[in-house]
Amino acid sequence: MAGKKDEATAPEGAKAGKKKLIIIGAAAAVLLAGGGTTAGLVLGKDASAATAETAEEVLTPGDITALDPISLNLSDGYLKLGLALQGVAAESSGHGSSSGLDGSKAYDQAISYFSGLSMAELSDPVKREEHKTHLQEKIIEAYTTEDHETGEHTKTVMGIYLTQFVMQAS
């Protein structure tokens, strides 16, 4: 009879052990699936944000507005700087033009950025290109507007050109 009791309880113990394994396995599957879904959502947001940035970067060039050259004080000389602004084509006009860019913001950014730099720093072509890139970023940001209702950012300038860059020691 002792053998029958062991046989009767063994399947119940094995059944209980299988139930625990199934419960643990199901819980692990739920956690993994939830983690995968969370990762997918997070990665999906990053991917859609990257796609939105890429879509935002596809701008149609409009008019180029040449600004009069200005003279800036460097730490050890002067810089005569000429700029041109590459406008973004206005969507509503359909003609590919961006009429009437005011150069005031670009002048302000250029004066703030270049004033006080040294001639040696601007004489190096690599550093000069880095400075141009940073100035371009600042100017594009200055000419970017935000629609408060939709939160959309609209760029009116997409790039700059240096039309004059003449330094003179003081």
Per-residue pLDDT tens for 54-109? 445 688 999 999 999 999 999 999 999 999 999 999 865 544 444 579 999 999 99
pLDDT averaged over every residue in the chain: 79
What is the model's pLDDT at position 97?
A: 46
- Asked if residues 64 and 87 have their Cβ atoms less than 8 Å apart, the reply is yes
Q: Could you read off the pLDDT of 124-156 as tens digits, one per residue?
A: 999 999 999 999 999 999 999 998 888 899 999
- Asked if residues 98 and 62 have their Cβ atoms less than 8 Å apart, the reply is yes
Give the DSSP H or E segment for 32: helix 2-57
Amino acid type, 137:
E
24 backbone dihedrals φ, ψ, rounded to 5°: -65, -45
For residue 156, give the nearest of 65, 58, 90, 84 by alpha carbon.
90
Flag whether the pTM goes above 0.85. Answer: no
